[in-house]
Structure 1
C-alpha cells in the first residue's frame, strides 16, 4: 500500500467528536456564547444514532399527572439504576430536564399535545407517572431535526464522514485528535484547546443489537481509555425487551417501548400473557431488565416462537389511535406484511444501551484528562445498573448544555498547547500500517466472532464459567487481531472495520472484566451463579488504564442521594399499570 497523502491540519477552539444530540447540544451552547467549535460525524450530518430513539424524552412537567415532581423522577431513576447511579448526575438531570424540554419546544420541536395544548406525556416502563414527552414514535428523529436546524441558524461548522482514530494528549492535557476523511482517505489532524467526546455507546459488540452494525462500536470508550481515562460500570449493558426478529437484516432493530407504553401486551407462543407471572403489578411496563429476562426465561423454557421470540400485541387498541401514536411502527411492520392494528409483532431482547462508559465530573463534563470532556451515552453515572426509558435523550441535552457552558466559561483561562507534530506523525503512520497489513484474519471475521462471544458469554444471563470462557476467547481474538488482513485504503468499509476492531476489543474486555468482578445480580447485570442483589455491592467498578494496553480493576463506593430525593425514594411511588386497561 502506498503511504498516505499529505496530512490536513485543522484548528478550532473546541473539537466535538460525535454529531448526535449530545454533540449538537454542546455545540449550540458554545456557539451561543461565541466560542469557535467544530462538530465531527462518522456519517452524513444529521444521520446520527439519535434518530433511532423513538419512544420519548423525560421531564417532570406534570402535564397529565400534576403530582409528579423532579425528586420523584430522580427516585425512579435511582430505583431503576438499583442505587449505583452518580447522585450528582441524576439530580442535575431531573432538575434541569423541564427547562431543556421547554427550550426544545421554543425551538420548534413538534411535541404531541393534550386537548388543552400542553405537551402530552405517556407512560413508560418503571416510571411512577406519565412524564415521557413524545413526537409520535419518532421522538429521536424530531429531536435531531430540531438541533440540526438550531445549529444551522448559529452557523455551527461541521465535518461529516470523518473518523477519529486517536486523541492527542501532551503532558496530561488533550490538545487535539487525529483521524481520516472517509471519502478522500486523507489523514486529518485537529488542533484544539478542548476536546469533547460525544460518540455514543457500544452495544454493537453484541450479536443482536438495536444499533446499526457500524455504529456504537465502542469508539468513544476506547478513545478515552487509550488517552488515560477510566471506564466505569461497563458490566451494565441494557437489553431492551423488544427487538425485531425478522427480516434478518433488521434483526435486533428496536420495537419502541412506546408500543407497551400505549398498552401493548406480551404473549408467549402458548397464548399466555406471561408477565402476570413475573410482574403482576407493573406487567409489560416493569423495568427493561425485568421484562427482557422474563422473555429470555420463556424462550429457554420452551414457550417461545420458532424464532426464539415472543409476541407483542397492540391490536386491542383502536386503529386510529395506533396510527396516531405509533405511525413508524405501523409503517415498518407493514413493509414486512404485518398489520399491527390486527395482528401481533414477533419480538425478542436486543442489546440496546450502555450504562457504563467514560468517567466524568457531571457538573462540568470534564474527564480526568485536562481539556478532555465527554457527553451522552459514552459516559457513565446517570443510569446506574439500568437506564430508565426516556432518560437517554434528555441526558444528551441536559449535559450537552452543562458541558458547553463550562467550556465557554473556562476556555479563556487555558493556555494553548500546540499539537505535537511527532504524535500526529506516529498516529498517521499507524493508520498507514493498518491499511497495508497483510495477515490471516479479516476485520469482519474478528467482529463476527466477537459479537457471538459477547452475546453468548456476557449477554442477558451470565455466570463465572461462561465469563471466564469469554475472556479466554477474547484473548485469542486479541492475538488474532495482531495478524489482520486489511490491504485497503481509508475510503473502504474494510479499513473502517479494521479501526472498529481496535475499539471493540478494548471495550469488550472492560465489559467481561466488570461482569466477572461483580458477584451479584443487579439491574441489567444478571448472574445465574449469584442470583441475588448483595447490599455490599452497592459500589462502582472501574477499569483503569495502566499503559501499553493494560488495565486494572478498582472498586469504590457510590454517593448517597440528597435528602429530598431520598424522601421521594422512601415514599415508594410506583406506576399502577392497570390505568392502561
Structure 2
C-alpha cells in the first residue's frame, strides 16, 4: 500500500484554485479566467452534479418583468427584513443591485428561461419577496444554471479536477498571519495526493446539512469549506442560524427530507393541518402584518389580482413558516406521517401543475406514489441551508486570511439570520463573480513574488490525511460517529433550542471529538468511502461545535435560530454578530467565540425602512 507521507505527490501551479463546482464555484472560475488568471476548479463530485442542481424555484432579481414597480431598493429591503436586519447591509445592497445583470448574463450564455406573454424572462412569487421576482425554468432552475455555467467553463478551457477532496489550505508563513500559498488534497478514486501552488483560493463548497439526520442536502455537504477556512486561520460568522426549509418530504422514510420547492406555494399551494384548516393565518408576525393577508378572502383576492391585495401567509419567510408547521405538528394537528399537508391539487388544474412543477410531479409520483395533481403532499421542515459561514469583506469576498476568498453558502453575512428563497442562486452569481475577479487580481499582483508552499506543511497534511490507516485495532468506525453526531444535532440543536439541551450537545460533541481521534479505516486508499468519511467527519464535528456554541450564546429568537427559553427577538442581540475561530489552528483546539458589532447601515439606506 502506497501510504507513506513521503510518497510522490502530483503537483500543479495556478493563479486561482476554486474549491467547489456549484453555481458560486463555476461563476468564480469564469470570472477569474476572464480576468486573465490560470484557473483550476476542484470538485468533490462530478462536474455538473453539484448541489446547486437541486435549487428549483428560481433566481431572485428585481428585473421588473412582471411588476414594473420592482427595483433593487425593494429587493434590498425584503432581504434585510427577511434576515431580521442582521444581514451585512453592504452585501445585501450589492446583491440586490447586481442580480439582474447576472441573470441577463446567464441568458446571454444560453440559459433558457420561462417567458412572459410579452417574451420577457418570467418571474414567480416566493416567500418574503414583495413582488414576483424569481427568474425560473419550471422548477428546475438550478439545473439550467449549472448547465449554462458548466458549458461556459468547459468552452473557456478551464481545468477541472473531479472527484477530488481538499484537506488543507496551505500558507506561506512569511509576514504577520501568513497568506495562502496553495491547497492540498487527494484523488478520491486512487487516494493519490496532489499539491496546488496558488496564491489565491476561492472556497465555494456549500453547506453543512449532513450533520443532521433530516436534510435536503446532498452527501457533499459536510462543512468542508467552513472547516478548511477555520483551520487556516479565517473566522466564521452567524453559525447559529440554520435554516430548516418548511417543506421537505416526510414519507416514505427512505426519502425523508428531500426538498419540496417553495414554488408549490408560490404557484398557489396552501398549507393545511389534519383538521383541514389553513393554519398559517394564526402565525402572522407583527413585522409582516401590513403586507400579509389575515383572512382567506384577502388571500384569495391576492391570487386573483396580485397588485391590489396582501400576500397569503404561506408566502411568509421560511423561518416563520417552518416554526408554524412545527407548532401544528407538536399540537397534534399533523398529518399521519408527522408533517402537514401542502395542497395545490384543489387550486390549480393538472395541466398547470405538470407544466409549472414538472420535477415535483415526478418526484412524488415516483418516490411516494402520490399524484400531486389529485391529492395533497405531506411535508415537514428539513435542514436546508446555513446562513453562517466564512467572514468575508463584502466587496472583495476575501476572508481575514489574505488570499482566501469565499462565495455562496460557505460565506456568511449576506443573509443575516434567515435567507429568502431564490436569493441563494443570485447570491452564487453575484458573489461568485466578485470572488473570482478579486482572487485573480490579487494573484496578478503577486506574479513576481508568489508565496511558497512549505515541504514540511505538505508532509504534515499527508500524515494527517493518512492517520485513520494507522490504528489497526480497537479504532472508531466513522459511520458510527457520523450517525451519533446526526442524532445529537437533530435532537439538541434543531429547529427549537433550549440552553440545557445546547449544553448537552456541546458535551456530546466533545465526546465525539475525542472518539474521532481514534478513527480507523480498513483497506487501501483506492475506492475507500470509509476513509473519505473519516476526513469529512473532522470537518462536520468542528462546524457542529460552532453551531451549538453560537446557539447557546445567542439568548434570543431570530430568523433560523429559535430559543424556547428566549422566545422573542432582543434589540441588543440584533446589533451583534458572533464570530468563531479555532484558538490553536487545528481541529483539536477549542472553538473561540467573540461578539462583534453589526456594521452600521448608511442613513440613505435606512430611510428605505422608515418609508
Judge conservation of contact 1:100–1:397 (CA < 8 Å) in 2.
Answer: yes
The DSSP-based 3-state class of the residue aligned with 1:483 is: coil
Structure 1 stretch 264-273 or stretch 123-132: which is displaced more?
Answer: 264-273
In the alignment, the residues of structure 1 paired with residue 112 and residue 404 of structure 2 have an alpha-carbon distance, to the nearest angstrom, of: 34
TM-score calculated relative to the size of structure 1 = 0.96
Which residue matches 1:267? 272
In the alignment, the residues of structure 1 paired with residue 594 and residue 37 of structure 2 have an alpha-carbon distance, to the nearest angstrom, of: 37
Q: 2:360 aligns with which of 329, 341, 350?
A: 329
In the alignment, the residues of structure 2 paired with residue 304 and residue 560 of structure 1 have an alpha-carbon distance, to the nearest angstrom, of: 43
Q: 1:23 aligns with which of 25, 28, 31?
A: 25
Task: Give CA deviations for 1:466-488 in whole Å, capped at 9, x if unaligned.
Answer: 10111111111111111222124
Judge conservation of contact 1:122–1:132 (CA < 8 Å) in 2.
Answer: yes
Q: 1:457 aligns with which of 476, 486, 492?
A: 492
Which residue matches 2:478? 443
Judge conservation of contact 2:246–2:380 (CA < 8 Å) in 1.
Answer: yes
Judge conservation of contact 2:405–2:439 (CA < 8 Å) in 1.
Answer: no
In the alignment, the residues of structure 1 paired with residue 488 and residue 252 of structure 2 have an alpha-carbon distance, to the nearest angstrom, of: 23
In the alignment, the residues of structure 2 paired with residue 60 and residue 191 of structure 1 have an alpha-carbon distance, to the nearest angstrom, of: 40
TM-score calculated relative to the size of structure 2 = 0.91
In the alignment, the residues of structure 2 paired with residue 389 and residue 546 of structure 1 have an alpha-carbon distance, to the nearest angstrom, of: 35
The DSSP-based 3-state class of the residue aligned with 1:42 is: coil
The DSSP-based 3-state class of the residue aligned with 2:572 is: helix
The 5 A counterparts of 1:131-170 are 131-170=133-172
Judge conservation of contact 1:488–1:494 (CA < 8 Å) in 2.
Answer: no
Judge conservation of contact 2:48–2:146 (CA < 8 Å) in 1.
Answer: yes
The DSSP-based 3-state class of the residue aligned with 2:609 is: helix
Judge conservation of contact 1:240–1:351 (CA < 8 Å) in 2.
Answer: yes
Instruction: Please list every run of 5 or more consecutive structure 1 residues that lacks an aligned counterpart in the other structure.
Output: 572-581
Matched residues, number: 570
The 5 A counterparts of 1:133-532 are 133-171=135-173, 172-212=178-218, 214-279=219-284, 281=294, 282-315=312-345, 316-335=347-366, 336-414=368-446, 415-438=449-472, 439-490=474-525, 491-532=527-568
In the alignment, the residues of structure 1 paired with residue 609 and residue 591 of structure 2 have an alpha-carbon distance, to the nearest angstrom, of: 36
In the alignment, the residues of structure 1 paired with residue 469 and residue 249 of structure 2 have an alpha-carbon distance, to the nearest angstrom, of: 35
**Aligned in 2, Cα 1:40/1:554: closer, same or farther, shift over 3 Å?**
same
Which residue matches 2:130? 128
In the alignment, the residues of structure 1 paired with residue 507 and residue 441 of structure 2 have an alpha-carbon distance, to the nearest angstrom, of: 47
Shift of 1:411: 2.2
In the alignment, the residues of structure 2 paired with residue 99 and residue 380 of structure 1 have an alpha-carbon distance, to the nearest angstrom, of: 23
Judge conservation of contact 1:107–1:150 (CA < 8 Å) in 2.
Answer: yes
Judge conservation of contact 1:467–1:516 (CA < 8 Å) in 2.
Answer: yes
Which residue matches 1:7? 9
Instruction: Please list every run of 5 or more consecutive structure 2 residues that lacks an aligned counterpart in the other structure.
Output: 285-292, 295-311
The 5 A counterparts of 1:80-99 are 80-99=82-101
Task: Give CA deviations for 1:414-439 in whole Å, capped at 9, x if unaligned.
Answer: 22022111110111112222233334
Structure 1 stretch 433-442 or stretch 111-120: which is displaced more?
Answer: 433-442
Judge conservation of contact 1:32–1:154 (CA < 8 Å) in 2.
Answer: no
The DSSP-based 3-state class of the residue aligned with 2:335 is: coil
The DSSP-based 3-state class of the residue aligned with 1:535 is: coil
Which residue matches 1:576? none
Task: Give CA deviations for 1:135-174 in whole Å, capped at 9, x if unaligned.
Answer: 1000000000000011111111101000011111121111
Quick check: 1:560 aligned with 2:590?
no
Shift of 1:2: 5.1
In the alignment, the residues of structure 2 paired with residue 477 and residue 526 of structure 1 have an alpha-carbon distance, to the nearest angstrom, of: 25
In the alignment, the residues of structure 2 paired with residue 563 and residue 132 of structure 1 have an alpha-carbon distance, to the nearest angstrom, of: 29
Shift of 1:392: 0.5
